[in-house]
Structure 1
Amino acid sequence: MTSALPAQGKAPVRAVTVVSLIAATTAVLSWIPTWEAEFALGTIYVFVVTSFAASGVFLLADRSTGRTGWAMIVAAFCYEASWWWTWPPEWEIGPAPLISFLFGYWWFAIGGLALLRYPEPVLSRRYERAYFVYFAIWIVGVKLFIAAVSKPEWAGWNEHAWWLTIAPNRALFDATAAVFKIGVIVLALLLILLLLLKIRRSRGLERADSLPASAAGIAIGFLGSFYIAAQLFHLSKPVTDALRTITALTALIAPIAFVISLTQRRLARSSVADLVVRLADCTSLKDVQSALREVLGDPTMLLAVPASPAHYVTCEGYPLTGEELARWRVPVPAGNGGTVALLLVDPALRRRADLVRSAAVAAGLVLENGLLRDDLAAQLAQVQASRRRIAEAGLAERRRIERNLHDGAQQLLLRVMSSLSLAKHRAQRGRDPSDAIETAGNDLDEALAELRKLARGIHPAVLGEMGLQPALEGVADRLTIPVTVDVTAGRLPDAVEETLYFVICEALTNVIRHADADSAEVRVTQGDGTVVALVTDDGHGGAGFEGGSGLAGLRDRVETLRGDLAIATGGDGTTITVRIPCG
């Protein structure tokens, strides 16, 4: 059947029709003995068998989900066999009862395997594979054991049906049958847990793909457990029949979920056309990266551009980390067959390789039209200006330290030397040098205090020892306006913590000098691998990066850590927002 499937992934109408007709015909024939008594349930039964088989063919049309398609087709015929127990005794002859008894539960196991695996070609976790090995052993091994210690009539079949009776024991049969049902209930609940774990760890397109199938599996596992429990505890026939009907209806969710996921895939492919339109309006590489992230559903995707023939950087100009380089690399093709850029994509998107490569081609068209050259030129100018500001800030800082040393500690140390010389002179002439020594000691204490103050300005000890909250509270206590400090972030990498400290201190200094504010507030929070700091004041506003503002230097310092600094200002005050990745 797979040879008839076209490579582009469109489900062959002829194959779907043929398999659906076969499944529907065998289901109708299987229900012949009970159509009159159970017409509504029989209709549901036929729809479940047919939809399972048809969705299997649709899945076969996608090479990445072909195995899941075969699982759904097998599950369809196992589901069909699972209902043969409703036949009247005169139909329950030959091997059919034994086939139904041994393989009826396989529809749940194989269907659960398909739901948990989709859209991956194989189970990705060792514990998932172990789960289905135990499941298979349970429903095959225990069923064989039950058949060996029972007679067909004990299991509700015609006494003349084929059976595997070896050593019939009614008490052992009843106990084993109850244990089997309890085990199936436990396995069904474990399937729900595995599906919930899968939803939790998935994201983006992967979650959109798997969510319908996972939700279907959860519903089937939950309601199927109730139905088996009703049988185990011998609830009244109306309750058992109602649960049986609801479970049959729930089984319809699985093929519907697969059709929904396949439809989503086709819609995602068509979104590449919308991507081309969006990319045409992009004016920077960051805009291109943002558009690609949205279409691919991967918020961590990176657009890497060449800094040299063999070296790539992010579209912001930063070097790539080892973790980023370990991602799936998708070339953005140029018209001459070369590579104009790289997409660094979540490896989970390999299953959507056609979509990712189509998006890469669309991005290549835009980048080749001059955007890459223009944006890199603009980035180079920004980097050069940023480096110049950082160099100037470093030079200014060194001059400040030199000036403070010259005007403060150096002068005090010269006075200490002068006092000690005077004390020595007095001692040589037999005079009391204690006054001069005391003066030298006082000057030395003052020099030490000046050096400690200077050292705190370079790197405060309290920051390294206790963190941002105490360090910023110490700064706030020395300011002339009330400042509220609220730091909920934990300890951060040293470079991040130090940068935040100095940026916040400089921002508060600007508030005191220029904002004419009555109060200020500092908040530092952390989440999703990013730390966010806000410095807010109630001054007259007007802060900005223009005209050589010191805020431009702060922005440069933040950007060296791949962060960003933004200013929101107006007549009711200014808010400076700093975001730095720290995951």
Structure 2
Amino acid sequence: MTVNAAGQRWWAGAAALAVFAWTMAVSWPADGSLWWQEFPPRVVGVVVIVAGLVVWVRLPSPRIGALMVFGAAVYYLQYLRSADGVLFAVGFCLAYAWMGVAAHVLMTWPTGRLSGRVDWGYVVASYVISIGTQVARYFVDHPTPPWGIGIAKPVTFWGTLGSALGAVMGIGATGIVLWRWLSTAKLRRRPTGPVWLGFIAAASFKIAEAVATVLTTSLAVKTALAWLFTIAVIVMVPLLYLVRWVLRKLAPEVLVNLLVDIKRDYTAFADPAALQHTLSKGLDDPTLTIKYTLDSGELVDIHGRRVFAGAGSTTEVRRRDRLIAVIEHDPALDAQPKVMDAAVAAVGLAIDNARMYATLQAQLEQLRASRRQLAQTAATERQRIQRDLHDETQARFFRILMLLDTAEHEHPSAAVRRAHTELTDAVRTMRQLTQGIYPTVLRDHGLTAAVENLADRAALPVTFAVSPRRWPEEVEVTAYFVISEALANVYKHAKATEAGVRVQAEPGQLVVEVTDNGRGGASALNGLRARAEAVNGRLTFVSPPGHGTTVRAVIPGEALCES
């Protein structure tokens, strides 16, 4: 904290204590009240002022501490109801304004910011109800001093309405706190849980006091509930700090265990994914991710893919003054800097090792991207060659055939007939060649129709099961040529009597299987493997002698879904 910020904090604390002293001077003792009834509630504000100054320093955002100090000062304005004239009017109208500030603190804990419409709506409603009902009550009911604990007060519509709305808001706040408790990750419960539980404990007495006012119970009951609220606040504030201190002391024990595990076997954490999982588990933060820096300054994730820095909370990891990684985590860890420092110290060397692994992964990812680009370029070039042969060269051949037909009719001869036959065979061969380069049926109708075409032209019976879907072009082209080449191997080498083709979509990949009942004993299949690996796929085969061959290719592809 800077000198200027520290000065602001102490000036705010001094101002709040000055309000306390001033209100005590003009309102003590209240007529009709006993000093032992008045004194404990007046201590509450001082306790909250001290707590607010501590929170102002401890939490990353100073807003919470400032609100607590301000709310404690506002709390003392209610004691001006023991004075006369303008002071009484101010004290009466702002007697419960501190409840609006308390709601503001609760909704913004621990970040100091209102995060959504529910928070904003609740805080605005709290201020309107806590101040508005008192202002209306002042101008309608025309109250007169003095007011204080233990002094009977007249029952009026606006007084009852204010108490009823206060009870509703208290119950609503309790519901919001419980919902946050149930829906919040364990990491966030550690620093905020004691505060929420303390609020519920203290608020329950205020809610009971408001309900007692609505039900017009005896003055003794309401006085007792007010006292219980006072005791709850005075006891809860130091108790909450004790609980938070204990939790902070216990938190590093998890990191100690983490450090022991890492020191036991550094190699187990060389894998970035394993290290990220372990650190995430150790800090109770399922959102935690580790991004590693390359020598170029770029960031990569645990899989080596290039990523950008996030906009959330981060902790930098440095080795010899060089940034090697960035840990992105839940903002709740910002309030526990010692825990994060201990975590970074515990996994420092492991992160350095994992960074080298991630760098290698990034190089592999770059190689995969190059392979994908080459495969896409090859597919595009196949299409171009197929289109040129089909649209231009084949068209020229057909024109020559028409000229030969004309010549044969006008000047029939064996040479012309032989030329016509040879050219017809050449056109048929070229048509087969263009289909082999890039089959038109695959482009126009998809993989199912293309496999059916292969089965129809096969030299032996081929059964196939292919879902009638369209997949990305790169995936379909690779799958088609794997099937085509695998069937060609069956014809040439397997001495099989039948073959089968199965194509099945799985999450993020397409699985192709080609089987036969041939003699087995296949080896290498380097051509098929190279084709699959060109798109970052993988190819395996099982070919025991005498029991046929099963070729299985897994082709990765995003957005594998029905078109």
TM range (shorter): 0.5 to 0.7
Asked whether 1:365 is paired with 2:349, we answer: yes
Q: Which residue number in structure 2 is paired with residue 284 of structure 1?
A: 271
Asked whether 1:313 is paired with 2:304, we answer: no
Distance 1:144 1:214, change over 3 A: same
* CA displacement 1:177-204 (0-9 Å, x = unmatched): 3543454456456646866897799767
Q: Secondary structure at the match of 1:121?
A: coil
Q: Distance in 2 between matches of 1:535 and 1:450?
A: 23
Q: Which residue number in structure 2 is paired with residue 64 of structure 1?
A: 60
Asked whether 1:121 is paired with 2:112, we answer: yes
Q: Distance in 1 between matches of 2:451 and 2:246?
A: 58
Q: Which residue number in structure 1 is paired with residue 324 of structure 2?
A: 340
Q: Which residue number in structure 2 is paired with residue 21 of structure 1?
A: none
Q: Distance in 2 between matches of 1:537 and 1:254?
A: 68
* CA displacement 1:331-375 (0-9 Å, x = unmatched): 32213x33333334566654444433443344433345x5544x2
Shift of 1:134: 4.9
Distance 1:480 1:129, change over 3 A: same
Aligned length: 474
Supply the AA of the counterpart residue of 1:276.
Answer: L
* CA displacement 1:14-53 (0-9 Å, x = unmatched): xxxxxxxxxxxxxxx99x97999xxxxxx9x999999978
**Which deviates the most, 288-297 or 388-397?**
388-397
Q: Which residue number in structure 1 is paired with residue 126 of structure 2?
A: 135
Q: Which residue number in structure 2 is paired with residue 177 of structure 1?
A: 159
Alignment of 1:63-82 (within 5 A): 63-64=59-60, 68=64
Q: Which residue number in structure 2 is paired with residue 331 of structure 1?
A: 316
Q: Which residue number in structure 2 is paired with residue 562 of structure 1?
A: none
Shift of 1:457: 3.9
Supply the AA of the counterpart residue of 1:360.
Answer: V
Q: Secondary structure at the match of 2:306?
A: coil
Q: Distance in 2 between matches of 1:159 and 1:208?
A: 39
Q: Which residue number in structure 1 is paired with residue 280 of structure 2?
A: 293
* CA displacement 1:124-170 (0-9 Å, x = unmatched): 55874575355334323431341343355899979999x9xxxxxx9
Supply the AA of the counterpart residue of 1:116.
Answer: M
5+ long unaligned stretches in structure 1: 7-28, 37-42, 85-91, 164-169, 430-435, 463-470, 488-493, 525-531, 541-545, 560-564
Asked whether 1:146 is paired with 2:137, we answer: yes
Q: Distance in 1 between matches of 2:165 and 2:34?
A: 31
Q: Which residue number in structure 1 is paired with residue 339 of structure 2?
A: 355
Q: Which residue number in structure 2 is paired with residue 302 of structure 1?
A: 290
* CA displacement 1:444-468 (0-9 Å, x = unmatched): xx99x9699835646x678xxxxxx
CA contact under 8 A between 2:288 and 2:327: conserved in structure 1? no
* CA displacement 1:273-299 (0-9 Å, x = unmatched): 344334443123333333333344153
Asked whether 1:273 is paired with 2:256, we answer: yes
CA contact under 8 A between 2:532 and 2:553: conserved in structure 1? no
Q: Distance in 2 between matches of 1:58 and 1:475?
A: 74
Q: Distance in 2 between matches of 1:556 and 1:212?
A: 57
CA contact under 8 A between 1:152 and 1:158: conserved in structure 2? no
Shift of 1:316: 3.1
Distance 1:311 1:141, change over 3 A: same
Q: Distance in 2 between matches of 1:197 and 1:74?
A: 27
Supply the AA of the counterpart residue of 1:359.
Answer: A
Supply the AA of the counterpart residue of 1:316.
Answer: H
Supply the AA of the counterpart residue of 1:305.
Answer: T
One of 402, 422, 432 as aligned partner of 1:420: 402
Distance 1:274 1:80, change over 3 A: farther
CA contact under 8 A between 1:213 and 1:258: conserved in structure 2? no
Distance 1:159 1:49, change over 3 A: closer
Q: Distance in 1 between matches of 2:315 and 2:212?
A: 53
CA contact under 8 A between 1:327 and 1:347: conserved in structure 2? yes
Q: Secondary structure at the match of 2:60?
A: helix
Q: Distance in 1 between matches of 2:402 and 2:204?
A: 89
Please tell me the root mean square deviation across aligned C-alpha atoms, in Å: 6.9
Q: Distance in 2 between matches of 1:451 and 1:575?
A: 20
Supply the AA of the counterpart residue of 2:274.
Answer: D
Shift of 1:521: 5.7
Distance 1:518 1:363, change over 3 A: same
Q: Distance in 1 between matches of 2:110 and 2:217?
A: 40
Q: Distance in 2 between matches of 1:353 and 1:400?
A: 58
Shift of 1:62: 1.9
5+ long unaligned stretches in structure 2: 7-28, 412-419, 456-461, 517-523, 543-550
Q: Secondary structure at the match of 2:259?
A: helix
Distance 1:558 1:498, change over 3 A: farther
Distance 1:417 1:520, change over 3 A: closer
CA contact under 8 A between 1:151 and 1:159: conserved in structure 2? no
Shift of 1:304: 1.9
Q: Distance in 1 between matches of 2:484 and 2:105?
A: 62
Supply the AA of the counterpart residue of 2:293.
Answer: V
Shift of 1:116: 1.8
Supply the AA of the counterpart residue of 2:289.
Answer: M
Q: Distance in 2 between matches of 1:175 and 1:187?
A: 18
Alignment of 1:405-484 (within 5 A): 413=395, 416-422=398-404, 425=407, 454=439, 457=442, 480-482=463-465
Q: Distance in 2 between matches of 1:158 and 1:343?
A: 54
* CA displacement 1:99-129 (0-9 Å, x = unmatched): 9966664554333323222221344558745
Query: TM-score, normalization: structure 1?
Result: 0.54
Q: Distance in 1 between matches of 2:525 and 2:236?
A: 63
* CA displacement 1:63-103 (0-9 Å, x = unmatched): 43665457567878999999x9xxxxxxx976899999666
Supply the AA of the counterpart residue of 2:281.
Answer: E
Distance 1:216 1:160, change over 3 A: closer
* CA displacement 1:554-580 (0-9 Å, x = unmatched): 687479xxxxx999x9xxx99979796
| Aligned-pair identity (%) | 15
CA contact under 8 A between 1:55 and 1:259: conserved in structure 2? no
Q: Distance in 2 between matches of 1:175 and 1:537?
A: 81
CA contact under 8 A between 2:315 and 2:328: conserved in structure 1? yes
* CA displacement 1:479-512 (0-9 Å, x = unmatched): 9455679x9xxxxxx9x96677778889999999
Q: Which residue number in structure 2 is paired with residue 491 of structure 1?
A: none
Distance 1:394 1:134, change over 3 A: closer
Q: Distance in 2 between matches of 1:331 and 1:130?
A: 37
Q: Secondary structure at the match of 2:300?
A: strand
Query: TM-score, normalization: structure 2?
Result: 0.55
Q: Distance in 2 between matches of 1:393 and 1:461?
A: 21
Q: Which residue number in structure 2 is paired with residue 22 of structure 1?
A: none
**Which deviates the most, 497-506 or 206-215?**
497-506
